[in-house]
Amino acid sequence: MTQRNTRHEEALALRNSGMSYGAIARQLGYGNYPSAARYAVMAALRNQVSTTTVEVRQFGVEAEFYNITPNQAVAALQAVGIRVSFEGYTHSITSDWKIVTDGSVTGRNTGQGTGLELVSPILKGEEGLLELEKALNALDEAGAKVNTTCGLHVHVDTAGMNNVQRKNFFNSYVRNQELMDRLVSQSRRNNRNYTMPYSPSNIDVYAECAATGRGGNNRYFTVNVNSLPKYGTLEFRQHQGTLNGKKVVAWVQMLLAIAKTASVSTLETEGLMTYPTVAEFLDAHNVDVTTKTFLLRREAQLNRVSVAA
């Protein structure tokens, strides 16, 4: 075990004994940086998970679009080996991909008078991510388009999480809302129609709804807890519409990393941590280097910040 990993394990042992992050930082030589001690504790927890057999967390994606007909969408997907059908308007769960109508989306050139939505079956692991990227790219190449009426929704399964862990999963995202805003387009920031941010007056109420799994009374937030009692998922609604497979896969990988961190949390305070930068947030959740690099470049593009090549 490396010296760094040994110190991570020491930090975890001290945290489990009830010591504060500030005290751990001082004792282990992190100086006056409680956040560094917190990183060490979470790194030790993640290492414990990574060295045991853990089921890969499931997810699902809904991508809204327009400009091609359902038949054209189905043909494009089937051409790359995706099992898919056009289902009209439905919320039924299927084992294959489906195209459905969506009245909230621009209806141009779909032949349905509404926009369309690609809905994935339950996906997981590397295989699921690769299929997701392939499906989205196929629609893009077939001429499908997105605009500001379109969104991307990601459901992340909370199976195996207890009340504290579900609450931490919810809080980790919404209490870092300013950072999440930097990773989405301007149209999805403070959007009062379909992706409302949580406010100080309601965040604790919905955090408890996430903890208990009972859902809430409004699904049009950045993170929808209403999907918990029906599907067992938290639905992340904030990302703008896109058919760029790499963008979507990176977003899903980040959400899965947040879920993994939450799934090893033991205290509610873990979900209350906030971070000064996107980079520190991604590091705290152990987002892999490739995904982190991609997301930081997206942050730079979306916020007009120059970065090194």
Last residue of a domain, one of 118, 133, 149: 149
pLDDT digits (tens, 9 = 90+) for 134-147: 999 999 999 999 99
pLDDT, position 5: 62
In terms of domains, do 236 and 261 share one?
yes
Which is nearest to 255 in space by CA: 167, 162, 180, 149? Answer: 180
pLDDT digits (tens, 9 = 90+) for 150-182: 999 999 999 999 999 999 999 999 999 999 999
User: pTM score > 0.85 for this model?
Assistant: no
- 10 Å CB burial of residue 149 (0-12, 13-18, 19+) is middle
Establish if 256 belongs to a structural domain: yes
**% residues pLDDT > 70 (the chain):** 92
Which is nearest to 5 in space by CA: 51, 53, 69? Answer: 51
- Which residue segment(s) compose the domain that 29 sits in? 3-50
Radius of gyration of the chain (CA): 20
pLDDT digits (tens, 9 = 90+) for 69-114: 999 999 999 999 999 999 988 777 788 999 999 999 988 999 999 9
Amino acid at 133: E
pLDDT digits (tens, 9 = 90+) for 217-237: 888 999 999 999 999 999 999
In terms of domains, do 18 and 70 share one?
no
Tell me which residue has tokens 């604790």: 204
CA–CA distance, 265 with 276 (Å, rounded to integer): 21
In terms of domains, do 170 and 297 share one?
yes
Last residue of a domain, one of 102, 119, 149: 149
Last residue of a domain, one of 92, 114, 149: 149
In terms of domains, do 167 and 295 share one?
yes
pLDDT, position 41: 75
In terms of domains, do 8 and 72 share one?
no
In terms of domains, do 281 and 234 share one?
yes
In terms of domains, do 141 and 205 share one?
no
DSSP assignment of 65-134 equals EBSS-HHHHHHHHHHTT--EEEEES-----SSEEEEEETTS--TTSSSSSEEEEE---EEHHHHHHHHHH
Across 20-24, 36-40, 74-78, which has the greatest mean pLDDT? Answer: 74-78
Total number of domains constituting the chain: 3
CA–CA distance, 19 with 39 (Å, rounded to integer): 15
pLDDT, position 46: 55
Least confident stretch, 7-11, 61-65, 196-200, 281-285: 7-11
Establish if 287 belongs to a structural domain: yes
Establish if 309 belongs to a structural domain: no
Q: Tell me the H-state helices in the chain.
A: 3-16, 21-27, 34-50, 70-79, 125-141, 163-174, 177-181, 203-212, 227-231, 245-263, 278-284, 289-303
Establish if 268 belongs to a structural domain: yes
Pairing of strands 223-224, 152-157: unpaired
